Structure 1
């Protein structure tokens, strides 16, 4: 299946200025804008119907009717929500429990293995340079489910670089953290399929304030990917919910890359964490001092 959105994002730099206008108009109201006529899309983009057709050809598609066919297939694929996938998996499942466990483990192992094809070394390197390059602050937010992975990233990065903060309510009580971001702030957003409107609003806020944006998403690519400075992609799948096996591996790969980019500063900060956390544990009212007496022989 041709994924129209991914093809557009992959080829954006190859497009002519007028074709890029059509592409951006399509992405701005995706996928609805692609389901109308060529004339309607051209008017929205401020170009012409022939320009729309040239973009379609650029995507390797013969005509507009075929383009819309691929678009509808993509929509149906994305509508394959967790509950529907769970129902399908349950109906088709007749294997013994032990076999189901083996298959489930193998599927998650495959997701981690595929990470090598969805995640480029260049994108990880660029993200690591941004994060370890001394930004004033690093703001990290996740979605309904992915916030748990976002919090893990916060806790680990905070022991390597300073200024890391979790956005629990990025459009509410945390919104002030974006003020004056400029180029001194890096925002990391997790946005996986069933992409959330809040992620688009946070991405727009980050870019409007001048922050650098790292988007962590799946192979379908979040709509905010076209606004990102770096896109990190992990494969997801499984039932009843998407597996985070590859996403967790991606997070660990990113943390290691930041650690290596930070160098001695990262080591010094880790030492501080170790010393400080040990001090707090030993001074806690409920803590007991270790027994240093020798055992009698």
Structure 2
């Protein structure tokens, strides 16, 4: 089994410090593992002994043995020159752009199964469905729209959910209310924003559980995260939001199922209490609409 696959499968067994090393490895695999143990520890924000403990947990005798296995993996997985040439030609094929775009987006969705450790996803769902005292959701310049979507949908399944637009501006009071039993969900994708790291730091110091949703290169905010959900976002000309959208929907669905009858009761109360003006249903005959208009004109 490749080392990254084993790390991914065993993420739930690792200590918080070991998870930091694992995330650093997975976000820059296999290059990160070819550096010294001290360099890997620095990149992960941990210590060299933590790196060595992770290697031992994987059943590998020493760090040199770990690097030897990495080099063997690289040798076995490198493509032949002809394969690389064929892939390059496919990448520059200008025909069928719609079909190619669809295939690329499908691949990004499928990549969720290899970028988001199931144990981390399950922990996020359990936390969000566990009657949290407060849940704040914040994002960056572009990701705020997905933060708003996540907050508005979660709010229909569980109580005490708040969207945070300006963590250190108008919404600072929401951040300062965070404490033990609270959850801060932070979305931060490349190009990373300082405010996201600061918000994660503040939430952690307040005693809240911090969930960071980020891309495969990992936001600096993960330094303060308890749970990290990485998404592949490669796209042209802009990073793709397909994976983010699917992950957000999967989280909401997971939370609704995990909250059971409580979630259903809340959704029912929400539907019965919130009234949104809708256009006329298509089933209403046009003549009826015309008659309504004539009556209004006569009354006028």
Determine if the alignment matches structure 1 residue 182 to structure 2 residue 179: yes
Unaligned runs of 5+ in 1: 27-34, 67-88
Residue in structure 2 matching 1:252, options 249, 254, 257: 249
Unaligned runs of 5+ in 2: 25-34, 68-87, 289-300
C-alpha distance in 1 between matches for 2:156 and 2:49: 51
Determine if the alignment matches structure 1 residue 230 to structure 2 residue 227: yes
Determine if the alignment matches structure 1 residue 241 to structure 2 residue 238: yes
Task: Quote the residue 2:71 is aligned against.
Answer: none
Runs of 4+ displaced beyond 4 Å: 12-15, 50-55, 57-62, 287-292
Task: Quote the residue 1:267 is aligned against.
Answer: 264
Determine if the alignment matches structure 1 residue 137 to structure 2 residue 134: yes
Q: 1:199, 1:224 within 8 Å by CA — same for their partners in 2? A: yes
Task: Quote the residue 1:77 is aligned against.
Answer: none
C-alpha distance in 2 between matches for 1:51 and 1:270: 48
C-alpha distance in 2 between matches for 1:273 and 1:216: 27
Give the 3-state SS of the residue equivalent to 1:145 in structure 2.
Answer: coil
Q: 1:203, 1:224 within 8 Å by CA — same for their partners in 2? A: yes
Determine if the alignment matches structure 1 residue 194 to structure 2 residue 187: no
Q: 2:52, 2:63 within 8 Å by CA — same for their partners in 1? A: no
Post-superposition shift, 1:120?
Answer: 2.7
Aligned pairs, how many?
Answer: 247
Post-superposition shift, 1:224?
Answer: 2.1
Question: What RMSD, in angstroms, separates the aligned Cα atoms of the two structures?
Answer: 4.6
Give the 3-state SS of the residue equivalent to 2:274 in structure 1.
Answer: helix
Q: 2:139, 2:188 within 8 Å by CA — same for their partners in 1? A: yes
C-alpha distance in 2 between matches for 1:153 and 1:211: 18
Task: Quote the residue 1:80 is aligned against.
Answer: none
C-alpha distance in 1 between matches for 2:188 and 2:174: 20
Task: Quote the residue 2:82 is aligned against.
Answer: none
Task: Quote the residue 1:127 is aligned against.
Answer: 124
Residue in structure 2 matching 1:146, options 137, 143, 161: 143
Determine if the alignment matches structure 1 residue 165 to structure 2 residue 156: no
Q: 1:162 to 1:141 in 2, by over 3 A?
A: same
**Greater length-normalized contact order (CA 8 Å, ≥ 6 residues apart):** 1
Post-superposition shift, 1:218?
Answer: 1.6
C-alpha distance in 1 between matches for 2:113 and 2:14: 24
Q: 1:140, 1:187 within 8 Å by CA — same for their partners in 2? A: yes
C-alpha distance in 2 between matches for 1:54 and 1:281: 61
Determine if the alignment matches structure 1 residue 209 to structure 2 residue 210: no
Q: 1:124, 1:257 within 8 Å by CA — same for their partners in 2? A: no
Instruction: Summarize the alignment of residues 60-139 of structure 1 with structure 2, pairs less than 5 Å apart.
Output: 93=92, 95-96=94-95, 99-139=96-136
Q: Deviations over 1:233-292 (max 9, x none)?
A: 2111110111111111111110011001111111111111111124x649xxxx889979
Q: 1:151, 1:166 within 8 Å by CA — same for their partners in 2? A: yes
C-alpha distance in 1 between matches for 2:280 and 2:101: 44
Q: 1:53 to 1:234 in 2, by over 3 A?
A: closer
C-alpha distance in 2 between matches for 1:223 and 1:105: 31
